A and B are shown apart, each in its own frame.
Chain A
Amino acid sequence: MFDDFFLISLVPILTGLFSALSCTLVGNILVLRKQAMLSDTISHVVLPGIVISFLIFGNLGPYFMLVGAGIAGLTAVGTIVVLRTYTSMDNSAAMATTLSVFFAAGVLMIELTLGGNVHLDVEHALYGNLESLIWIDGKSLMSIFDPAARQTIPVELTRAIIGFVLIASVMLVFYRFLIVSTFDQTFAEISGVPVGIVSASVALAATLAAVISFDAVGSIIVVAMFVCPPAAARVLTHSLRDQFCLSLLFSALSAVLGYAVAGYFPILVGFETSISAAGTIATLSGVILACAILYSKRQRSYDFLDGHQT
């Protein structure tokens, strides 16, 4: 069963793991800022960015894709600000408008330029395809130290690791800025923290995390990685550091266990093929969240739909 572990399983597990960890890092901030749905908006919005950079650069530049998606993410945040300024929209309506328009534009662009394969391509964007990341030269543990074999590691994994390191280090460096402007915006402004830049950077970090995970786990399951582990940790902890640590643990657990369940459970039950790893990871993170809520003590009570007002 484990003979082909390095060939088939290692790269998907690591890609899923680092994608999930990056999303969870940013997700902690989003959940605390009551902007959880920003992750949903961004994960829809990167589609036209990726399509445009594909049209311009073709398959040549996997890193250009990041630039295209980053620009799309920032344009979307700009659109949200413009809509909130020039109409009576609240945050929720502005995000709903932006995400649907960008996604629709992306779908139309695929359809008009790349031909009739739209369902396949959009499906790929939605569901991701973790299972396709095969490391051809991965034969044993020693392959990791073999430079020639390392050449064939899928670029998705490299991108996921670079993205994770980038996000983690930027968050560590600007940790105090980030925290003060999240918890007390007025105080942060008085103290001279550039609150606007911090907000834009959070959106940019969310875009980066969404894009590196996009190929592997698909745009909607990304949202689960942004929201569920931080929410579960938030319910169980009372300090920010605990919340960060616990959420990363939950995130890693759902990523690794989710892949294992998706790969091996159907075989054990007796089906021929496996089920979607990305979907299983999302489902597992939801199960963890549900357990956390059931385990935690009953907290403050909210009116339905009014939870967002504090």
Chain B
Amino acid sequence: MTELIGYNTALALVGALLFGFSSGHVGAFVYLRKASLLSDSLAHATLPGLIIGFLVSTFLGMEEKNSWVLLLGAGASALLGVVVIQWITARTKLGFDTAIAAVLSVFFGSGIVLLTGVQSVSVGQQAGLEDYILGSVSGMLLQDVFFIGLVSIICSAAVVVYRRPLTAFIFDPVLSELAGYAQHRMSFLLSLLTLVITIIGLKIVGLILVVAMLTIPAATARLWSTCVWSMSSLSALFGSASAGIGVIISALLPNLPSGAVIVVIMFIALGLSIVVTHLRGSNV
């Protein structure tokens, strides 16, 4: 395998397969909750944190490729984004859509202010930052793959453990409340899973396209199944398969950004599924 596609691509492939699996898994529940665009907002909200993390790691004299500090910063600023969205929806009459759009654009805008500030202070050292915007698997290290794999497995495990409360919360909030799973806690759990998937997806698909990983496989799986368990499993498989194929294609054709390839493959699968399921006459 490694002779065929090279060590680097093999690493990226493993990371993408695991990440695709867990993003599809979590995405199924996010999709059923009708909150797909939340991850788009959170992904854009990571930018200021990424850059602050970059500055901190530069000032502390760490290696350039140290992604731990960057991801920590990204997570912190996305978490702030969740809090702000919650604050806006709880305090005003503005809708959820307005809240996530405001957080998305303002966080991203302030991130760009910071980015241009960084560029004017330290020229030429921010090369690693652009990879997080469009995604690039070429520079992935063994420790990155370990990290992505571990977090993916934890997310999938959390989905398996909480599948019943999550299902109850999505389809019958009163039941989940009565069963002892408070709505705000389940809502926070789902937001947290979305946030974590978004963060680890930054490296593979980039912050603009990570929302597709949580949405398209789930929508495809929903066409083929009518129960939550089979849908989330199928969604995980679809996500894993498209991420794997996308990484291989982007490795074979030079310079194609992996995120864009993965998204196009997932959309082709969705289109085929729509045609086939309608020809079969199955229900939607």
Contacts and interface: CB of A to CB of B under 8 A. Distances in A.
B256 A111 contact: yes
B106 interface: yes
A112 B255 CA distance: 9
Interface string A67-111: 000000000000000010011111011011101110111011001
A29 interface: no
A278 B109 contact: yes
A87 B261 CA distance: 23
Contacts of B183: 303
B216 interface: yes
Contact of B264 (A95, A108, A224, A304): A108
Interface string B112-150: 110111001100000000100110000000000000000
B93 A122 contact: no
A235 interface: yes
B284 A86 contact: yes
A39 to B, nearest CB: 7
Contacts of A282: 105-106, 108-110, 112
Contact of B215 (A93, A262, A293): A93
Give me the 7 closest cross-chain CB pairs, A-B, nearest first: A282-B109, A286-B106, A279-B112, A224-B105, A307-B96, A100-B212, A223-B105
A275 B109 CA distance: 11
Interface string A7-25: 0000000000000000000
A296 B110 contact: no
Contacts of B116: 127, 274-276, 279
Interface string B188-199: 100100000000
Contacts of A89: 219
Contacts of A111: 255-257, 260
Contacts of B36: 90, 92-93, 95-96
Interface string B12-48: 0000000000000000000101111111100010000
A235 B100 CA distance: 16
A216 to B, nearest CB: 14
B98 A231 contact: yes
B174 interface: no
A68 B94 CA distance: 33
A104 B264 contact: yes
A221 B112 contact: yes
A37 interface: yes
Interface in A264-310: 266, 271-276, 278-283, 285-286, 289, 293, 296, 298-308
A227 B284 contact: no
A159 interface: no
A225 to B, nearest CB: 8
A116 B257 CA distance: 11
Contact of A39 (B101, B215, B257): B101
B95 A221 contact: no
Nearest to B94: A231
A146 B34 CA distance: 56
A57 B117 CA distance: 36
Nearest to A112: B256
The winner among A35, A90, A283 for most chain B CB atoms within 10 A is A283
A37 B100 contact: yes
B94 A97 contact: no
B32 to A, nearest CB: 9
A117 B95 CA distance: 39
B259 A279 contact: no
Contacts of B280: none
A161 interface: no
The winner among B31, B37, B39, B100 for most chain A CB atoms within 10 A is B37
A123 interface: yes
A267 to B, nearest CB: 11
Interface stretch (B52-60, B83-91, B152-160): B83-91
Nearest to A126: B133
A122 B134 contact: yes
Contact of B92 (A36, A39, A283, A299): A299
B264 A228 contact: no
Contacts of B72: none
Given A40-B40, A307-B95, A223 B101 contact: yes
A91 B142 CA distance: 39
Contacts of A303: 89, 183-184, 187
A123 B212 contact: no
Interface string A202-242: 00000000000000001011111011100100110000000
The winner among B44, B105, B113, B184 for most chain A CB atoms within 10 A is B105
